[in-house]
A = this chain, B = another copy of it.
Amino acid sequence: MKLETKRPLTLRDVSEASGVSEMTVSRVLRNRGDVSDATRARVLAAAKALGYVPNKIAGALASNRVNLVAVVIPSLSNMVFPEVLTGINQVLEDTELQPIVAVTDYMPEKEEKVLYEMLSWRPSGVIIAGLEHSDACRAMLKAAGIPVVEIMDTDGTPVDSMVGISHRRAGREMAQAILKAGYRQIGFMGTKMPLDHRARKRFEGFTEVLAKNGVEIQDRAFYSGGSALAKGREMTQAMMERSPDLDFLYYSNDMIGAGGLLFLLDQGIDVPGQIGLAGFNGVELLQGLPCKLATMDACRLEIGRKAAEIIAARLSEPPVDTETAITLTPTIAFGDTLRRR
């Protein structure tokens, strides 16, 4: 039995079809309050027969509860953020909460715009990548009066709470491992992204440790766009021609590092003897390469999960207090491209 109109069904339709008040229908559909089994059965039957789908818009307005979690990330175009989203999804799946995602393309103005739009849905919480936001964004986040988790990075002060790793420390530790292994002529390759603060912090931590040890980056190159693997290949070739004395290459992400590694192996160059390599992210891809690139896990899935758990805890009834800073500590995966000394 289906209504012929195109107007979406309302509670009233179910109420009329079942001969039960709207209020009781609402109770049945939300499993709230006491409803007799007989009534419940009639209502459910009617709802199913009609094909009724509740209207969350109206429900949210009436109850002043919007079970949405706004997720603001810079990009979808490498596996980093999809993996974070997977972590968020995994946790929110078991709750009433549902993520809504917006992408900023690493542009502060766009971040401001999408955050405003997300907040106008009056979400119950926000998960947002990074600690660097415009004043306007920070003001909006504070004014929203909802749990906010800033993710990926913990080098800074959160508006509310944060989950991530210290990218500065990641850079420092990698530098220490490289120096300890005896490499001294170091080249760096990364993305041309002044607004990727996390890459910047890794680089800062990296050069800081080098400097303390009297070592300086010998050569550097940046790319944008294109296949990261291919770019890694090209840049590595160019850099090795330009600076043949280099004995280590540090890449800002695993994909370009893998490209560089494949190039060097092609050339028959001894890795890690003649030259060592390291990337960043700990991408699964590396497991399939002929030789494993040294890297450091960015803890993407775990960050997504923890962030979602914080939001869920803070919104639970009664609310659970959570830590305001969770710093995950990745360790170096030496792989086959960085001597362990």
- A residues adjacent to B (C-beta < 8 A): 2, 6, 8, 51, 53-58, 60-61, 66, 76-77, 79, 81-83, 85-86, 89, 98-103, 116-117, 119-122, 139-140, 143-145, 226-233, 255, 258-259, 262, 266, 284-290
Residues A76 and B66 in contact in the complex (CB < 8 Å), given A227-B287, A229-B289: no
- List residues of chain B with CB within 8 A of the CB of A258: 288
Most B-side CB within 10 Å, residue of A79, A81, A143: A143
Q: Is the CB of B82 within 8 A of A86?
A: no
Complex CA gap A232/B227 in Å reads 21
CA distance A232 to B284 in the complex (A): 13
Contact A116 B53 (CB under 8 A): yes
Across-interface contacts of A76 in B (CB, < 8 A): 82-83, 85-86, 89
Q: Closest Cβ of chain B: how far from A87's Cβ, in Å?
A: 10
Closest B residue by C-beta to A103: B89
From known contacts A76-B85, A82-B76, A82-B82, infer whether A284 and B120 are also in contact, taking CB-CB under 8 Å. no
Contact present for B57 and A287 (CB under 8 Å): no
Chain A interface, DSSP helix/strand/loop, else mixed? helix
CB-based contact A285/B140 at 8 Å: no
Question: How long is the Cα–Cα vector from A230 to B230 in the complex, in angstroms?
Answer: 20
Interface contact B288-A120, CB-CB below 8 Å: no
Q: Give the contacting residue for A290; candidates B82, B262, B286; CB below 8 A.
A: B262
Whether A121 lies near B57 (C-beta < 8 A) is: yes
Q: How far is the CA of A286 from the CA of B119 in the complex (A)?
A: 40
Flag if A145 contacts B6 (CB, 8 Å): yes
In the assembled complex, the Cα of A86 lies from the Cα of B105 at a distance in Å of: 11
Q: Which residues of the other chain, B, contact A6 by a CB distance below 8 angstroms?
A: 145
What residues of chain B lie closer than 8 Å to A284, measured between beta carbons? 226-227, 229
Known A227-B284, A227-B285, A233-B288; further 20 A-B contacts with Cβ < 8 A: A6-B145, A8-B122, A8-B144, A51-B143, A53-B140, A53-B143, A56-B122, A57-B66, A76-B85, A77-B82, A77-B86, A79-B82, A81-B82, A86-B103, A100-B100, A226-B284, A227-B288, A229-B287, A230-B288, A262-B289
Interchain nearest-CB distance for A259 vs B (Å): 5
User: Which residues on B sit within 8 Å (CB–CB) of A103?
Assistant: 86, 89
**Chain B residue contacts of A2, Cβ below 8 A:** 143
Residue among A53, A228, A284 having the largest count of chain B Cβ atoms under 10 Å = A53
